[in-house]
Structure formats: structure tokens, C-alpha cells
Amino acid sequence: MSRRLETGKLPAELLRELLAANGPAPPELLLPPRFGEDAGVVAVPAGALVAATDPITLTGRDVAAHAVVVNANDVAVMGVRPRWFLAAMLLPVGTTEDEVRALFAAMREALAGIDAVLVGGHTEVTAAVTQPVVVGQMLGLSEDGRFIRTGGVGQGDAIIQVGPAPIEGTAVLAAEAAGRLGALAPEVVRRAREALRSPGISVVKPALAAAGLGATALHDPTEGGLSSGLYEMAEASGVGLEIATKAVLWFEPGLAVCRALGADPWGVLASGTLLAAFPAGIAGAALAALRAAGHECAAIGRAVAGGGVRGEGGGPLARYERDEVARLLAG
């Protein structure tokens, strides 16, 4: 009997099965749908068109702005500037005109922040949803045809983390499980709730900077947290990763929220963190340049032969097929 699916991303083995059924890619599809890759790439006369899509189901006015940033991240980690955005907005019955105006205002503000523009989409009120759902699509153009893959990590490459984790999951849990955070200091809860704005979840600037510094691979960990992001990077590249877990950058309010709710921060929604691989010979210079540009970053590991992701003791890092946020909110 077919098993019922949990909320969140599809199980990795099911997604691999579905993608494998697509068959050979046509020649213009430079990067077809692949497990762990953040976007697809299509050859066009002007270069290479990078395309990404993601739905956002947060509550409140942040949903439209969030759709811009999350989709922009997926294009930027290909080493390409996000430029054109489309949005399909599904709004619940009872939505007011002013609520729609607020969604569009927040979307325009987010687009202006990354110098991208809205080029189309669709908006409707429907009984099919009980809260706003925004499905975004972001496009970018690589005029020289070059782009970076999640699966570009080579043996010996250094793995650099830019930005702490978990940021996005912290904000979602602080909003959706607020009643269970009463034991935390008010200032910690405030910082957790405002995490989408500060430190924020955009990795566009550090991703483009890392690409310019010679990154061999970039990845934007999302569902399943930092752990899943590392596993996706390793599997897409056909390498193993050895991680110095004590070097990992953590968002302190996020750790506090995770402790209060019984979540493992390694498996909490991690948008706002960038994973970058650099050849060992230039990793130190890249790290220094990213820091000089104001990005919080640390060298957290290296790529080795084999597969999987291991910590200092040699044992496998815990992997989260289901994000901890989805697990907690479903319960």
C-alpha cells in the first residue's frame, strides 16, 4: 500500500525516483532538475537563463516579500544575479483590498532591495486556501553562459558557512509557537520574531561575492536545515564532507527557541545561511574577503572521497528528511 506523505518536502528517495523518470534532457537544458540543485538552467541566444521557483505559505504580510527573497537566493547561488520575478498569489476568502495592497507593497520593497522587477503573475481569491499562498518564480541571465552548481564540490575543497543558522525557522517557530516560549527572555523572543528582517534571510550579496571569489559550489540550505543542506551538497557532488561541528555559526535566539521547543537546530529551516566550497589554495583568501565585506562566515569542513557527512568523531551527522519546524507545528 502506498504510504501517506508527511508535511514538508518530498522524501529524498521519492524525489530522486520522480526526477529519474524525466529521461534524457534536451541539449538546451544545461542543468535539468536534479536532487540538491537550487535552480534549472536553459541555454538561450543571450547566454544561460537561470530559473527557480518556490512556494511560500507564511502568515501575514511577509509572505510576498519572503517569496521574492527565497527565490532570489536560489538564482544567486548559481552565481547569477536575480533579475525578473513572477508571482502566483492565492488568497483566502475574506481577504480585503488593503491586505492585498500590503502584500504588493511588501513584494515591491523586497524586489527593490535586490534590484529585481516584477514581470508577471496571477492573483485570485479562492476557497482552496485558508491563508495566503505565494508561488514565486525568479529568473536571471548569465551572459557568458557560466553558472555554479550545488554539485560542483571537488575533493579537498574547503566548506565555508556564511551567515548563522537557523534564521528562517527561528522566525517561523517564534510566530507559530509563541505560546510555548513564555520561559524565554522577552528580548530573545523579540529577536527571534524579527529574524526575517534582522539578520534577514537573503544570501544574494554573499552568494554573488563568493562566485566572484572563485567558489566551486554554492548552496542555500532550506527545509531540513543545515544538516540537509550539507547532505544535498555532498550527494550532488559525489563527495563526502567532514564537518568541524564546533566551528558552525549559530543564531543564538534560534538555539534558545529550539531548546524551548525540543527541536534540533541542525534540522531547522535554514534560509539565510549560505554554504560555499572553495579550492583549498584560495579558501583562506576567500574567507578573509567575505569577512572584509561584512559577512559573518567560518570554515566548517572539507570535502573528501566517499560520501555522506561526518562530524569530528567520524560518525554520520544526523539527517532530517522532515524539517523540525514541520514536525513541531504538525504536532
123 and 186 assigned to the same domain: no
Domain that holds residue 161: 150-330
Cell of 292: 572584509
pLDDT, residue 278, reads 98
**Residue 141 pLDDT greater than 90, yes or no:** yes
Q: Which residues of 84-117 are buried (b: 16+ CB within 10 A; e: fewer)?
A: bbbbbbbbeeebeeeebeebeebbeebbeebebe
Degrees to nearest 5, angle at CA 219 with 213 and 222: 145
The three grid cell numbers given for residue 206, joined into one nine-digit string: 554573499
pLDDT surpassing 80 at residue 61: no
How many residues are given for the chain? 331
Cell numbers given for 75: 538564482
Residues 6+ apart with CB under 8 A from 2: none
In this structure, the answer to whether residues 87 and 199 fall within a common structural domain is: no
How far apart CA 326 and CA 128 sit, in angstroms, is: 21
* CA pair distance 289, 211, nearest whole angstrom: 12
HEC letters along the chain: CCCCCCCCCCCHHHHHHHHHCCCCCCCCEEECCCCCCCCEEEEECCEEEEEEEEEECCCCCHHHHHHHHHHHHHHHCCCCCEEEEEEEEEECCCCCHHHHHHHHHHHHHHHHHCCCEEEEEEEEECCCCCCCEEEEEEEEEECCCCCCEHHHCCCCCEEEEECCECCHHHHHHHHHCHHHCCCCCHHHHHHHHCCHHHHHCCCHHHHHHHHHCCCCEEECCCCCHHHHHHHHHHHHHCCEEEECHHHCCECHHHHHHHHHHCCCHHHCCCCCCEEEEECHHHHHHHHHHHHHCCCCEEEEEEEECCCCEECCCCCECCCCCCCHHHHHHHC
Cell of 210: 563568493
% the chain with pLDDT above 90: 85
The answer on 169 and 115 residing in a single domain is no
In this structure, are 90 and 176 located in the same domain?
no
**205 plus 75 within the same structural domain:** no
Query: How do beta strands 82-91 and 40-44 pair?
Result: unpaired
Would you state the pLDDT for residue 3? 86
My answer on whether 83 and 195 are in the same domain is: no
CATH number, position 259: 3.90.650.10
Of 118, 142, 166, which marks where a domain is finished? 142
* CA-to-CA dists, residue 85 to 9, 65, 116, 117, angstroms: 23, 11, 7, 6
Domain presence at residue 239: yes
Question: Do residue 161 and residue 301 come from a single domain?
Answer: yes
According to the model, what pLDDT value does residue 70 have?
95
pLDDT at 314: 85
Q: Answer yes or no: is pLDDT of 323 > 70.
A: yes
Is the predicted pLDDT of residue 102 greater than 80, yes or no? yes
CA distance 101 to 121: 15
**Would you say 248 and 298 are in contact if contact means Cβ atoms under 8 Å apart?**
yes
The answer to the question of residue 323 being in a domain is yes
Distances, alpha carbon 190 to alpha carbons 163, 166, 172, 253, in Å: 19, 15, 12, 9
Q: How many domains does the chain have?
A: 2
Tens digit of each residue's pLDDT (9 = 90 or more) over 6-38: 877 888 888 888 888 888 889 999 999 888 888
Q: Are residues 175 and 133 in the same domain?
A: no
Q: What is the model's pLDDT at position 206?
A: 98
172, 176, 179, 184 alpha-carbon torsion, rounded to 10°: 0
Q: What is the pLDDT of residues 172-226, one digit of tens each?
A: 999 999 999 999 999 999 999 999 999 999 999 999 999 999 999 999 999 999 9
Centre a 10 Å sphere on the Cβ of residue 63 and count the other Cβ atoms it contains: 21
The reported pLDDT for the residue numbered 331 is 63
Q: For residue 59, what pLDDT band results from cuts at 50, 70 and 90?
A: low
pLDDT for the residue 14: 86
Of 119, 142, 165, the one marking the end of a domain is 142
- Cell, residue 188: 530573545
